[in-house]
Structure 1
């Protein structure tokens, strides 16, 4: 749940990141200064290879910046190690991927409950609300590999929001869906994140999807313009 004591969910100060490709060095992020407030929704757009997913990975702790400081929920991550990152992801982070990344040995209900089980919590009324709003209540006992792409993405959204995280990172959440299914998924994602008090940072190439966010960052040549 978002804690109102924190003025920002995410704060980036002078964040830079680059990669070596043979003899060439490519700087994809150049001294970025950004923040996301509780409940805000932000679309991150830009050309392929501009570093959008890299920025998401840095915020989620899956990659490290070369320099600069990242603060999450008011705490600097500069000296965080695996236990601190794991605790943040368990309690405060939800992730929705383009490829869904559902756990195929588990059925729909077990996938959705998975983040709660990491916290030692059972299925609850909020889970019932999620599956009803997402139109997947009748699918709870179904194996996830038997679902359509649109259904799998709805399960992924329910799983990402089951523990009401402060922040949701979404990487091309409508990229594998047709236009109609993509519109439905975006409407539901925004509505349910608002109900949970969850901020969203979403990478997308879709102008239609970006319009559902209240803010838009465009990343190109290492710089972000709002």
Structure 2
């Protein structure tokens, strides 16, 4: 099931990012260096406003760094335009948000199928495996707005992993769940990402969630400490 890919999924070199806020300039990332390798799982913690979501957005191409180099799957993104970014996101990236961000007109099955349809691929054995492991087989024809938060997050995980991406970015994936549902979601996320050969970078405020990752980075004052 796993795809051959460069062993370094993400490599940041001297990446900086700041924001102008009124007359003030806030530096959130300062000369950041980091790398994430195949199948690695990393928790990213840090105070609110320290730039954790900004870092995720830069890696996903939703925001751009002011300075420095970002390489994804061994390629420099320096010259990437919209089409290269779209291709990377479609083929190699899964994203799980705190808000679930499911496609509400679609049922569970069609939400999971959506990333595959963008690649011209159909439902397959891996999708059945995801449904089974996530315990949502019986829900596949249900409208997503009829699901509980925990169920919606399970659907979001299945959708993010349906195309077996090289990298999964997760932003507070247990933030809207109670403790029990949050633990269940983390166990499933880690197991299924490992089965898919997918690396995880997860922003979290939860110590419990962070403990499921093999590495832990703390972002503060623009720098990462491991």
TM-score above 0.5: yes
Measured on the aligned residues, the alpha-carbon RMSD in Å equals 0.9
Q: 1:221–1:2: structure 2 CA closer, same or farther, 3 Å change rule?
A: farther
3-state DSSP of counterpart to 1:14? strand
Name the structure 1 match of 2:211.
Answer: 211
Tell me if structure 2 keeps the 8 A contact 1:2–1:38. no
How many angstroms does 1:6 deviate by?
1.1
Superposition TM-score, scaled by structure 2 size:
0.99
Aligned residues: 226
How many angstroms does 1:61 deviate by?
0.1
CA distance in 2, matches of 1:215, 1:3: 23
3-state DSSP of counterpart to 2:174? coil
3-state DSSP of counterpart to 1:31? strand
CA distance in 1, matches of 2:154, 2:3: 26
Contiguous gaps of at least 5 residues in structure 2: none
Superposition TM-score, scaled by structure 1 size:
0.99
Name the structure 1 match of 2:21.
Answer: 21
Contiguous gaps of at least 5 residues in structure 1: none
Q: Where do 1:46-85 residues align within 5 Å?
A: 46-85=46-85
CA distance in 2, matches of 1:97, 1:204: 11
Name the structure 2 match of 1:166.
Answer: 166
**CA offset digits 1:29-85 (Å, max 9, x no partner):** 000010000000000000000000000000000000000000000000000000000
Q: Where do 1:1-226 residues align within 5 Å?
A: 3-226=3-226
Runs of 4+ in 1 over 4 A off after TM superposition: 1-5
